[in-house]
Structure 1
Amino acid sequence: MQKRKICVITATRAEWYLLSKLCKEIQADENLELQLIITGAHLSQNQGLTYKEIEQEFKINKKIQILLANDDKIALCKTMGLAFISLSEALAELSPDIALILGDRYEMLAVASTCLLLHIPLAHLCGGELTLGAFDDSIRHAITKMAHLHFVSTSLYKKRVEQLGEESSKVFNVGSLAGELILNTKLLSKKELEKSLNFSFDKNIYLITYHPTTLKLQSLQYEVKMLLDSLDTLENASLIFTKANADEMGLFINEKLQSYCEKNAHKARLFDNLGSQKYLSLMKIAKAVVGNSSSGISEAVFFKSPCINIGDRQKGRLRTINIIDTPMNELKKAFEMLENKAFKAKLQNLKNPYKNKNASKMIKEVLKKVDLSTILQKKFIDLK
């Protein structure tokens, strides 16, 4: 019996953390063949060359370099052009039975479009979500319309994908891949983290990731200054930053963070890539996760850790009571909320809508058994 070839394409560290367990499931199945295409930030020196982490456990079939030195609008468009050219050649050569991608980034829009033109069935993870403060929102929904199988995190997201005209039988609510990752990760203690990071923590640890808000870039310089000024006022604080992703103006943010951390080395560190174990271990013991990353929304909830979510980048995502939404100019109030007794009490009764410990296995079984003979012939289901 010929193995079914599943090609997983990833461009960022955030995607890979969520995909790694699924890739192990595919790799271990005797009826499936895992193909891996690595691109984007994985191959960037500035982003920590995260492909090396992947190579420790998996064979990488193709490495596709697409990022340019700049990160302005024209550079991102050219990056997508390079992705189209190289992906078309790589996918034609590998000839997968089905391709699989996660999320809402512009690199994945190029993947989805290439698969569409090459007649390769596409499975999409994490559709149906909303991020109204970024153009990723439009990308996610566009990928949904080009995909043939949909694996979503909640029943609400399943309804949204169906609202876009997708067949209910092709939409699977599998829960959160992050939750599965957390359950299968041996977390480090505070002392182990200090040794691993070569950094002594103060009383209060803040885990900070701030990405460009792609629809409101004109005020980014002001926002980054306000963020750093606010963090600078925190007492007994250790500030652990992870770099912004490879979006427009991401390099600007990283340069400002690097400069701040060099001047405040006694309390602040910037990391290209912490790796999932250290990142999740920090999230568990942090006084708060701070910034505008999706991980604060969908992962901090597993530890009942407070998340100070800044601005509109994650506007529209499902909220849990550990999240403190705030505009940048009211960060002081948000930090004060961390000491609020009523807020702390609510965290003890936090309900997690993402919980599911078998997401990867559920996805793998669908990929293994789905009939691919007619899957390219999509129907549009009108709302009743």
Structure 2
Amino acid sequence: MKKISVLTGTRAEYHLMYPVLKKIVEHPDLELDLIVTGAHLSAKYGNTYQAIEKDGIPISIKLPILKDDEEIVDMDRAIAECMLGCSKHFKDVKPDLLLVLGDRYELFGAVIPAINQHIPIAHIHGGETTEGAIDEAVRHSVTKCSYLHFTCCEPYRKRVIQLGESPDRVFNVGGLGVENILTQSLMTQEDLEKNLSFPLNNYSLVTFHPVTLEEGTAVQQVKEMLDAFLEVEDMNFIITKANADAGGNKINEVIDQYAEKYPQKFYTEFSLGMVRYLSAMKYAHLVIGNSSSGILEAPSFRVPTINIGDRQKGRIKCESIIDCNPNKKAILDAISKGLSSSFRDSIKTMESPYGNGTTSQQIIDIINKYLENGIDLKKKFYDIEFNLKGEK
């Protein structure tokens, strides 16, 4: 029996990882060691660890690293506390592999002690770029710390190889978000409306996070967005709140102010959970904000995405993505385009580049194979042939 440690710190990351976690639990030769930390354990961010428990996924340890009385999240302290907690935990349970997803700062807290304790690391969703966020540096750093790589499309696989990782350890397996869309039983629009007690005849789904490489822009940008929404007649907005990044609390305060003033216009919640969130996305007129879900998942529903600002700059985008600047006029223009019949007709036959719904099984099969055969952590840097522009 091989033990796989998995770290999760946010609702979005857990929802993506759910099919992988479920398959580990059900696998006869694998044992799940789930480390829950970050926003999951914060009342301010909805205590989303309860959703994990409700799903029946066993939690091995809870590592609180956030303080609900902090006005701005101290990411340095959070990483340090996560590192100390994971270091002790790994020494106690001695996992055969650590599996992590994405680009959250909490990953450093698990990856660094794993390296020091010679625990192989497998990384999901490497090779992507988000030029407006600190996540960019975290993601590529975790790539270099990892032995196995699971990317969501071929250009990202090539980018991981460009970082010096051997092609035989880098696998294009598609996106977990697409798998959830294709495999989960979603709610009807009528049932969702009853569940939320909010009118859903004409609505958009919204998530807006801080752009962590920009200083002091969060409040102004979210106000521009919400002011634009007030000018869109006959449309309501379901808003899932910002995550536990620096500036996230301030964004949520502004959202609460608008929701209190315009309760018929805005419905807000920290986390809808995977099924409600994907159901809300399915029936939405638009997906709006700067969350990766608008880039990776919304195209599978052929729902237009209004991508605001630079947070997702650099990602591969389908034809359904409309980029705009974070100001009221640009947002209104983008909404108008996204609602136009000509644009909606143009994406009706669009195909998502992010896989066919078999991602989690591919990941489990590859991990199990490598664990059975043994892993040599002495990686060689894989050099590629290339010519730089301007070189003589």
**TM-score by structure 2 length?**
0.95
Report matched runs for 1:159-238 at 5 Å. Answer: 159-201=158-200, 203-238=201-236
What letter corresponds to residue 79 of structure 1 in structure 2? A
Contact in 1 for aligned 2:35/2:62 (Cα 8 Å): yes
Q: Residue 355 of structure 2 corresponds to which residue in structure 1? A: 355
The worse-fitting range, judged by mean Cα deviation, of 165-174 and 370-379 is 370-379
Contact in 1 for aligned 2:83/2:108 (Cα 8 Å): no
Q: Residue 382 of structure 2 corresponds to which residue in structure 1? A: 381
Q: Residue 320 of structure 2 corresponds to which residue in structure 1? A: 322
Report matched runs for 1:1-384 at 5 Å. Answer: 3-56=1-54, 57-68=56-67, 69-70=69-70, 72=72, 75-201=74-200, 203-329=201-327, 330-371=330-371, 373-384=374-385
* Offset, 1:71: 5.4
Q: Aligned residues, how many?
A: 380
* Offset, 1:81: 1.0
* Offset, 1:375: 2.7
Determine the C-alpha separation between the residues in 1 that align with 2:195 and 2:43: 21
Contact in 1 for aligned 2:295/2:317 (Cα 8 Å): yes
The worse-fitting range, judged by mean Cα deviation, of 165-174 and 54-63 is 54-63
Q: Residue 390 of structure 2 corresponds to which residue in structure 1? A: none
* CA shift digits 1:275-319 (9 cap, x unpaired): 011110110111100000000000001100000000010000011
The worse-fitting range, judged by mean Cα deviation, of 181-190 and 289-298 is 181-190
* Offset, 1:235: 0.8
SS of 2:313's partner is: coil
Contact in 1 for aligned 2:97/2:120 (Cα 8 Å): yes
SS of 2:322's partner is: strand
Contact in 2 for aligned 1:148/1:375 (Cα 8 Å): no
* CA shift digits 1:256-281 (9 cap, x unpaired): 10111111111211101100111101
Determine the C-alpha separation between the residues in 2 that align with 1:186 and 1:211: 28
State, as a whole percentage, how many aligned pairs show the same letter.
Answer: 41
SS of 2:119's partner is: coil
What letter corresponds to residue 376 of structure 1 in structure 2? L
* Offset, 1:358: 1.1
Contact in 1 for aligned 2:219/2:254 (Cα 8 Å): no
The worse-fitting range, judged by mean Cα deviation, of 7-16 and 342-351 is 342-351
Contact in 1 for aligned 2:84/2:109 (Cα 8 Å): no
Return closer, same or farther for 1:276/1:94 CA change in 2, 3 Å cut-off: same
What letter corresponds to residue 196 of structure 1 in structure 2? N
What letter corresponds to residue 102 of structure 2 in structure 1? G
Determine the C-alpha separation between the residues in 2 that align with 1:340 and 1:260: 27
**TM-score by structure 1 length?**
0.97
Say what the alpha-carbon RMSD is for the aligned residues.
Answer: 1.2
Poorly superposed stretches of 4+, deviation over 6 Å: none
Structure 1 residue runs without a partner (length 5+): none
* CA shift digits 1:186-240 (9 cap, x unpaired): 1111110111112223x42110100000011322222121111101111111111
What letter corresponds to residue 350 of structure 2 in structure 1? L
